[in-house]
Amino acid sequence: MIDVVLIYGLAFLLAWPLGHYMARVFRSERTWLDPILNSLERGLYWLIGINSTQGMTWFGYARALLFSNLLVGVVAYLVFIFQGSLPLNPNGIPGMSWDLALHTAASFITNTNQQHYSGQAQLSYLSQMVGITALQIVTPAAGLAALVAILRGLFGGRYASTATAGEPRDLGNYYVDVTKAITRVLIPMSLVLALLLTWQGVPSTFEGAKTATLVDPQGEVTEQTIPVGPVAAMVAIKQLGTNGGGWYGPNSAVPLENPTPLTNLFESVSIILIPIAIVFMVGYFTRRKRFGMLALGVMTVISVVLAVTVIAAENGSNPTFQGLAAAGPNWEGKETRFGPTPSALWATLTTQTSNGSVNAMHDSFTPVGGMVPMIGMLINETYGGIGVGFVNFLVFLFIAVFIAGLMVGRTPELFGRKLEAKEVKLAAIALLIQPLLILVPTAIALSFPDLTGNSNPGFHGISQVFYEYTSAFANNGSGFEGLGDNTIWWNVTTSANLILARFIPIFAPLAIAGFLAVKRVAPETAGTLRIETPIFAATLVSVIFILTLLNFLPVLVLGPIGEQLVAVPEITASVDQEWVQASRALFGRPQ
């Protein structure tokens, strides 16, 4: 458990000053990088033709975010299609099929990085750099910019503070916010981490694949081709940017991506470093540190509960192997150089955020151990992705304030502004889009087994399909890798899921912030709902878990919970045998 304490401790220790620094960046206050970057940023603004002092309304901000993301997505799609004829392709890798290129472009413009390919075998160096690594910098920056704009609308900021009630407030300039997120946060941090990874042996070269000559015990000589490339830079931004897409198919379980205990420590801390720093940033940026502490407390409680659950599950015996293997932790699908506990912790951190990288195969976890990452993605705000995780937290906050207001018989009010029907409806849309985009395609895929290509027809097969769509919606990208997902069905349906699940949950809160920004701020009185209290924090946690369970408990019962019940003889014997027999007849036994 020293690993667990060390990873959480380092993340919080580094996140506190980083959050303070990020708040200063987005409040346009002086930082130590100003002498280096001010001239560079002004040149970039001139080059793309924008007035950096001109703010945007919520609609203009959303339009700029959508347009810029679609533009880079089209460029990435063309690179993937024509990579076979483009430079920086020393291994002669051909272009992708149209559907795989569509899914890959959609996945990387949405900060999801769900991979239906193996990067070392199906992407050229140019595709890895332009279509993958570059988007891994741009898309988390877009999420962070959206959060900053929403905070300006809710609390006031450089632009919003001068507006009067009823006046359309601008929420900042999207291009300025994205540029600052890239130049002052993501690139400097990625540079440091890439150097640390290179120091520990992660490849960083433009040379082609290496050939190793192997001699087996019988003296027979064989050759093995080992793909390399500028891996360290890509791994650095995939971890820090909550991207998660690996250079290699098995991701950070591959020794070339994650060779030593130190790289595992660096990469584990990097998963949650910026998401936690953003929570600190919110307190400094809004000058409401108690609100930041409320958010940090709620998220950390949920994070620890999920982490403890999956660590306990993976350190227990896998019930599926009962009587077939020695008692002890579940080692299936895990690297022996890491072990069950660091692997379990990584699994829960990568799905609490929208990172999605793995150092073990989630498909091989115990039923309960595999269910916890699903729950982390369904909640999707426990630290969450860069920017969008806190945006999701704000949506739950709007709903909790609405419910609390109804309970005490008052018009819901947040930060001195009334939440009315328009705002509550938008928050409800942002929440209800989740079961629609996850459950409907899951039901269709399971109704036509030839579409799924999953490796297990039982309860675990349901989990594989459900996990894939949950991962796409949560902008996570991890998967139960027994699924044969490089097909037209999976590439097209998950692409639609990726795009809708990225932009609707951003635009709805952005609109809410725009609507609230024009309302007059009422002074706090004795009757004002105070959200920065332990009672409201407990209410918020309850709302998060209740809404998640109401939407998804049935499918969890049909998937990992059902698998757990059937796999443990003692439990199976104690439940209704008719239910067990009917379930087995319908779904089959776990393989």
What is the pTM (predicted TM-score) of this model? 0.90
Is the predicted pLDDT of residue 453 greater than 80, yes or no? no
The reply to whether 403 falls in a domain is yes
| pLDDT, tens only, 492-513 | 999 999 999 999 999 999 999 9
The reply to whether 481 falls in a domain is yes
The reply to whether 217 falls in a domain is no
- For the range 492-497, what are the long-range contacts, defined as Cβ-Cβ under 8 Å and sequence gap of 24 or more? 492/99, 492/102, 492/103, 493/441, 493/445, 493/469, 494/103, 494/106, 494/107, 494/114, 494/116, 494/468, 494/469, 495/102, 495/103, 495/106, 495/107, 497/437, 497/438, 497/441, 497/469, 497/472, 497/473
The reply to whether 216 falls in a domain is no
Residue spans of alpha helices (H) in 83-133: 98-109, 119-122, 125-126
Residue 151 near residue 138, CB atoms below 8 Å = no
Most confident of 12-21, 360-369, 572-581: 12-21
For 438, the token pair is 């996850």
Q: Higher model confidence: residue 218 or residue 389? A: 389
Nearest-angstrom CA–CA distance, 197 and 195: 5
Nearest-angstrom CA–CA distance, 276 and 290: 15
* Pair type for strands 221-226 and 210-215: antiparallel
How far, in whole angstroms, is CA 4 from its chain's centroid? 20
Residue spans of alpha helices (H) in 33-133: 34-48, 58-82, 98-109, 119-122, 125-126
Residue 361 near residue 483, CB atoms below 8 Å = no
For 359, the token pair is 């150092």
Residue 161 pLDDT class (50, 70, 90 cuts)? very low
Residue 230 near residue 206, CB atoms below 8 Å = yes
Sign of CA dihedral 282, 243, 352, 444: positive
- For the range 93-96, what are the long-range contacts, defined as Cβ-Cβ under 8 Å and sequence gap of 24 or more? 93/121, 93/122, 93/123, 93/124, 96/122
For 513, the token pair is 């912030």
Residue 284 near residue 23, CB atoms below 8 Å = yes
Domain membership of residue 248 as a residue range = 2-211+224-587
How many structural domains comprise the chain?
A: 1
The reply to whether 401 falls in a domain is yes
Residues 6+ apart with CB under 8 A from 546: none
| pLDDT, tens only, 42-80 | 999 999 888 888 889 999 999 999 999 999 999 999 999
How far, in whole angstroms, is CA 345 from its chain's centroid? 15
For 270, the token pair is 């990097």
Residue 282 pLDDT class (50, 70, 90 cuts)? very high
Is the predicted pLDDT of residue 158 greater than 50, yes or no? no
The reply to whether 219 falls in a domain is no
Residue 115 near residue 246, CB atoms below 8 Å = yes
> Percent of the chain beyond pLDDT 70?
91
Question: Which of 91, 94, 118 shows the shortest CA–CA distance to 248?
Answer: 118
pLDDT at res. 45? 92
Cα angle 495-501-237, degrees, rounded to a multiple of 5: 80
Burial of 421 per CB tally in 10 Å (0-12, 13-18, 19+):
exposed
**Amino acid letter at 302?**
I
The reply to whether 266 falls in a domain is yes
| pLDDT, tens only, 463-474 | 999 999 999 999
The reply to whether 454 falls in a domain is yes
